Amino acid sequence: MKLSGIRVPHRKNTSDSVPQRLPLPETVTIPMSMHIGKPAVPTVKVGERVTVGQLIGASDGFISAPVHSSVSGKVKKLDELTVSGGMKTAAVVIETDGEQEICESVKPPAVTDFDSFIKAVKESGIVGLGGAGFPTFVKLGVKDLSAIEAVVINAAECEPYITSDTRTMLDKADYISKGIDLLQKHLKVKHIIIGIENNKKACIDKMTELANGKSGVEVKVLPSIYPQGGEKVLVYNTMGRMIPKGGLPLDVGAIVINCTTLASIAEYIETGMPLVEKCITVDGSAVREPKNVIAPIGTPIEKLFEFCSGFKTEPKKVLYGGPMMGIAVPSLDAPVLKMTNAVIALDEKEARPPKATACINCGECVNHCPLRLDPRAIAKAYKLDLCDELKKLCADLCMECGCCAYVCPAKRHIVQTNKLAKAKLNKYLREQKEGKK
């Protein structure tokens, strides 16, 4: 069986753009929820001076992640921030003092065994940096290490425009190498696969050179077919194994970790500096000078666009992430998050939603769905409120990759319908579990 997908324009305009450091913004707004799971709880007060790397949000629950200050300065206010998706979260607003004084707690952690390694990953505040935001220490904290047959390093970077992972592979290959050493030592992993699309020759050469000096490490060059970086797709195309419905990669002997996430872990263990800044691709049809930019977490994305000489035309839509799975931001005041690998500004021509017409039942959405779902049947079941049918159709498996909408000749808003169907099904399943239906 071969998993489907689509060919999208690469538009990797910034692959040769060495990241440039953004001038320090006047203020940063750091949300307490930049990860899947329970939000962190602020540990600072208004008026308090903070330093770079200082803990400002304590993790509050098993699936949670601590938050650290990306700047030195004074806590201006504790705010409530509306993030993409309409959720509200607490946020710490810090007025920078320009000194970037490092917190005295920033010291390399003592890592001697598996438990201390997982503890260090937790304290780093690192989450999935490919966009998912799942706390990394939870993913790596496997109870039975013998269940891990391979770690797949996700270096696919399959979305158009985004090249921040590309820059990690080119600029921080030494930290990827050290991260692999950590996985082999503490997770006892014997097989590590670096999955990378064939449109990144310089990265393939760099990662191949890295792999040649290590036992049990291989580079698997994959076709440039979107969504190659999707977890289920990547595991299948690198290991030939199908993750079961509702399952995890570990169910088929795999752990998947983004290449920038891995490099960040190694950098933290070497330096003690938690996750406080990101390399972000700034691009899109409305951007005057696309670049890769290094910015403190909490920086208003408006500052990123200013650093790229502003807009050549008025942006009609601005996204966190790429054009296929990116999430629209409510305003240019929105901050850089831990998971922000790109901000894309699109002009009116690219941002204008196409006019949808009637479905012609051509089946292209089914043919190109990586998981072989049937969006036509899902839409019908959603409209008729047939939750049992949505369950049979596995609507909750949709990864919202957008392949269906991309190939639809009728330009139907399939992803939006699938998201609504998933929400309806998840509510139904919760009510069933609670005995309401």
Q: What is the pTM of this model?
A: 0.95
Q: Give the Cα-Cα-Cα angle 74, 75, 76 (nearest 5 degrees).
A: 100
> Whole-angstrom Cα distance, residue 253 to residue 82?
38
The pLDDT, as a whole number, for residue 336 is 97
Q: Where are the alpha helices (DSSP H) in 249-354?
A: 259-271, 301-307, 348-351
Looking at the structure, tell me whether residues 254 and 371 fall in a common domain: no
Boundary-marking domain end, from 213, 246, 271? 271
Number of domains in the chain: 2
Q: Tokens 């194994």 identify what position?
A: 241
Query: CATH number, domain at 124?
Result: 3.40.50.11540
The pLDDT, as a whole number, for residue 246 is 83
Per-residue pLDDT for 3 more than 70?
no
Q: Tokens 């005995």 identify what position?
A: 435
Could you give the maximum distance between any two Cα atoms of the chain, in Å? Answer: 64
Looking at the structure, tell me whether residues 266 and 391 fall in a common domain: no
Per-residue pLDDT for 366 more than 80?
yes
pLDDT, mean of residues 293-317: 97
Beta carbons of 20 and 291 less than 8 angstroms apart = yes
Per-residue pLDDT for 251 more than 70?
yes
| 245 band by pLDDT with thresholds 50, 70 and 90 | confident
| 298 band by pLDDT with thresholds 50, 70 and 90 | very high
Asked if the structure places residue 297 within a domain, the reply is no
The pLDDT, as a whole number, for residue 60 is 81
Looking at the structure, tell me whether residues 123 and 257 fall in a common domain: yes
The pLDDT, as a whole number, for residue 133 is 85
Looking at the structure, tell me whether residues 266 and 406 fall in a common domain: no
C-alpha separations of 317 from 90, 140, 345, 376 in Å: 25, 36, 6, 28
Structural domain including 396 reads: 364-433
Q: What is the pLDDT of residues 317-359, one digit of tens each?
A: 999 999 999 999 989 999 999 999 999 999 999 999 889 999 9
Boundary-marking domain end, from 249, 271, 293? 271
Per-residue pLDDT for 292 more than 70?
yes
Asked if the structure places residue 49 within a domain, the reply is no
Structure tokens at 316: 């009609």
Residue among 184, 116, 112, 113 nearest 150 (CA)? 184
Contacts of 265 (CB under 8 A, 6+ apart): 121, 124, 126, 136, 179, 182
Residue among 342, 243, 242, 360 nearest 293 (CA)? 342
Asked if the structure places residue 174 within a domain, the reply is yes
Reduced to 3 states, what is the DSSP secondary structure of residue 242? coil
Residue among 213, 230, 214 nearest 222 (CA)? 230
Looking at the structure, tell me whether residues 129 and 259 fall in a common domain: yes
> Whole-angstrom Cα distance, residue 239 to residue 254?
9
Q: What is the pLDDT of residues 413-427, one digit of tens each?
A: 999 999 999 999 999
Looking at the structure, tell me whether residues 263 and 412 fall in a common domain: no
Looking at the structure, tell me whether residues 128 and 249 fall in a common domain: yes
Residue among 340, 274, 342 nearest 67 (CA)? 274
Structure tokens at 48: 């308090």
Looking at the structure, tell me whether residues 263 and 373 fall in a common domain: no
Residue among 331, 293, 335 nearest 167 (CA)? 293
Residue among 392, 393, 400 nearest 420 (CA)? 400
Per-residue pLDDT for 287 more than 70?
yes
DSSP state at residue 128: -
Task: Supply the mean pLDDT for the chain.
Answer: 95
Asked if the structure places residue 338 within a domain, the reply is no
Tell me how crowded residue 144 is: count the other CB atoms within 10 A of its CB: 7
β-pairing, 49-50 vs 192-197, is unpaired
> Whole-angstrom Cα distance, residue 23 to residue 307?
8
> Whole-angstrom Cα distance, residue 364 to residue 368?
6
Q: What is the pLDDT of residues 25-41, one digit of tens each?
A: 999 999 999 988 899 99
Residue 345 pairs in a beta bridge with 318
Boundary-marking domain end, from 242, 271, 300? 271
Asked if the structure places residue 94 within a domain, the reply is no
Cα 398 to chain centroid distance, Å, stands at 17
Asked if the structure places residue 126 within a domain, the reply is yes
Out of 85-94, 251-260, 264-273, 362-371, pick the least confident: 85-94
Asked if the structure places residue 420 within a domain, the reply is yes
Asked if the structure places residue 256 within a domain, the reply is yes
Looking at the structure, tell me whether residues 378 and 240 fall in a common domain: no
The pLDDT, as a whole number, for residue 84 is 65
